[in-house]
Amino acid sequence: MQHMAATYLSNADGANCSSNLTEITEKPGPIGFQGVVGKSRSMQQVFRLIERVADSDSTILINGETGTGKGLVAKAIHSSSYRKDKPFVSINCGAIPENLLESELFGHVKGAFTGATSAKIGKFEVANGGTIFLDEIGDMSPDLQVKVLKVLEEREFEAVGGCKSIKVDVRIIAATHRDLEEQVQKGNFREDLFYRLYVIPIQLPALQDRPVDIPLLTQYFLNKLNKDKNTQVSGISQAAMEVLTQHTWPGNVRELANMMERMVVLKGEGEIQINDLPAKLRPEGDQEFAPVAVAAPEIDGDGICLNTAVSEFEKNLIYQSLEKTDWVKNKAAKLLHVKRTTLVEKIKRYDLQKCA
Ligand X SMILES: Nc1ncnc2c1ncn2[C@@H]1O[C@H](COP(=O)(O)OP(=O)(O)OP(=O)(O)O)[C@@H](O)[C@H]1O
Residues of the shown chain interacting with ligand X in the complex, contacts defined by CB under 6 A: 36-38, 64, 66-72, 177, 217, 253-254, 257, 348
Instruction: Classify 249 in phi/psi space as left (phi over 0), alpha (psi -120 to 50) or beta.
Output: left
What φ, ψ does residue 144 adopt, rounded to 5°? -70, -30
Angle subtended by helix axes 98-106 and 142-154, to nearest 10: 10
Minimum CB distance to ligand X smaller for 68 or for 159: 68
Query: In the bound complex, what is the minimum distance in angstroms from residue 36's beta carbon to ligand X?
Result: 5
Contact partner, 171, from ligand X, Mg ion, none, Cβ < 5-8 Å per class: none
- 107 burial level (CB within 10 Å; 0-12, 13-18, 19+): buried
Q: Which residue is nearest to Mg ion (CB)?
A: 71
Query: In the bound complex, what is the minimum distance in angstroms from residue 264's beta carbon to ligand X?
Result: 15
Element (H, E) at 167: strand 165-167
d(CA 53, CA 62): 13
Minimum CB distance to ligand X smaller for 93 or for 152: 93
3-state secondary structure at position 354: coil
Q: Which residue is nearest to ligand X (CB)?
A: 69
Q: Between residue 38 and residue 77, which ones bind Mg ion under the rule CB under 5 A?
A: 70-71
Minimum CB distance to Mg ion smaller for 71 or for 87: 71
Count of chain residues binding Mg ion (CB under 5 A): 2
d(CA 32, CA 11): 19
Minimum CB distance to ligand X smaller for 93 or for 277: 93
Minimum CB distance to ligand X smaller for 257 or for 277: 257
Query: In the bound complex, what is the minimum distance in angstroms from residue 346's beta carbon to ligand X?
Result: 13
Query: In the bound complex, what is the minimum distance in angstroms from residue 64's beta carbon to ligand X?
Result: 5
Contact partner, 37, from Mg ion, ligand X, none, Cβ < 5-8 Å per class: ligand X
Minimum CB distance to ligand X smaller for 194 or for 249: 249
Residues contributing to the site for Mg ion (CB under 5 A): 70-71
